Amino acid sequence: MSNLASHSSARLATINEATASVTNKVAVAIAMFAISGVQAANAFEFGSPGYLQKPGIVLGAAAAAPPPGIYGFDQVFTYQSKLVGPGAPSVGGAATGFKVDMAAQGFLWVPGWTFLGASYDAVLVQPFISATVGNPVNVAPAGLHNTFIANELSWKLGDSGVFVKAGLGIYAPTGTIQGASGLANIGQPWWTFQPNIVVSYLKDGWNLTANIFDEINTANERTDYRSGDVLHAEFTATKTFGNWTLGPVAYYVGQVTDDRSSAFYGGLVNVNRYNTWAAGGMAAYNFGPASLNVWATQELSASASGGTAAPPGFDSAATTKGFSIFAQLNYRLWAPDAPAAPVVSRFHK
């Protein structure tokens, strides 16, 4: 465990790479059928306006792999927002509130293998989600979110301080799936493939990271509706001072391809495009055998368009806009080498 102390919070945060979460899609979909008068069993796809992985959840995660071993991470977040957009429901002019809370257990395995000059690792994450949607919807689903697994390769580019990571994550439809459409709870009855590329500069205490990944969805196994691809871009610019790490963070998320509807919904589409931008800050502390990262983001801009679940001429699209607070505890469960003596607090590359 003490070997972990010789690595910066930026490196420890690498194990955050794979963590998954629920999305705003639940609220928007429920809101859409609420205002269009469709029965719950025929609600529009929750995935059409939203993302499967909560934006901002891998902020701070760098491209460098930690030393060989088995690592664990516990992550929680709260997302509190309002529905916005041309189709957002309201009561007396008051926007509909939407809140999501998540707790997840994740594991990172670094066996010490190399392939094409890169360090290999594998990730497994199981999130639990609860969501609350306010008036006029008033629902509160809770259960297991889809399980996330990933395989990753991390390259160190000489002594430049630059690291590059490439991976493929998969969300399997193992969550709490209920209802005729399979969308009456948190789980989602389709597979999501998530290729990603991460580039980091890790030197002199700096963690400058760009994490780009895409969500590619298969069709809903029960309705044949297919949600469009979603692009994520997350940016970290932190500096480590002793055991402390501080700095700004930001993200973008947007749908980049159209949904494909089905006969189950009469060809209607919930949302075809949305764009959200957010900024915030991060603070982390390296205790030695474990590190704790806390970060918060405020969504500065959110827009949605392309909804056809309404009379002609009216765009029923909606998305969410709000703020998030994340916390993650990273620790090593096992290492092939014997624990070393505690090290003096300092930043190592």
**Per-residue pLDDT reduced to its tens digit, 57-68:** 999 999 999 999
C-alpha 142, offset from chain centre: 18
> 2-334 has which CATH code?
2.40.160.40
Average pLDDT over residues 232-247: 98
- Please give the structure tokens belonging to residue 238: 């932190």
pLDDT digits (tens, 9 = 90+) for 32-66: 333 332 222 223 464 334 688 999 999 999 999 99
Does 307 have pLDDT greater than 90? no
Where exactly are the structural domains of the chain? 2-334
CA–CA separation, 303 and 31 (whole Å): 16
Grade residue 135 by pLDDT with cuts at 50, 70 and 90: confident
- What is the token pair recorded at 192? 């999501």
Cis peptide preceding 136, ω within 30 of 0: yes
- Pick the range with the lowest mean pLDDT from 9-18, 155-164, 320-329: 9-18
pLDDT mean over 104-115: 97
Burial of residue 76, with CB atoms counted within 10 A of its CB: 0-12 exposed, 13-18 middle, 19 or more buried: middle
CB 61 within 8 A of CB 284: no
Query: What is this structure's pTM?
Result: 0.83
Residue 144 has pLDDT above 80, yes or no: yes
Mean pLDDT value across residues 296-312: 88
Mean pLDDT, rounded, of the chain: 84
pLDDT score, position 342: 59
- CA contacts within 13 A on the Cβ side of 87: 33
Q: Name the residue among 62, 187, 167, 188 with its Cα closest to residue 123.
A: 167
Q: What is the mean pLDDT of residues 207-229?
A: 95
Question: Nearest-CA neighbor of 75 among 106, 54, 107?
Answer: 106
pLDDT of 63 reads 98
pLDDT at 17 exceeding the cut of 90: no
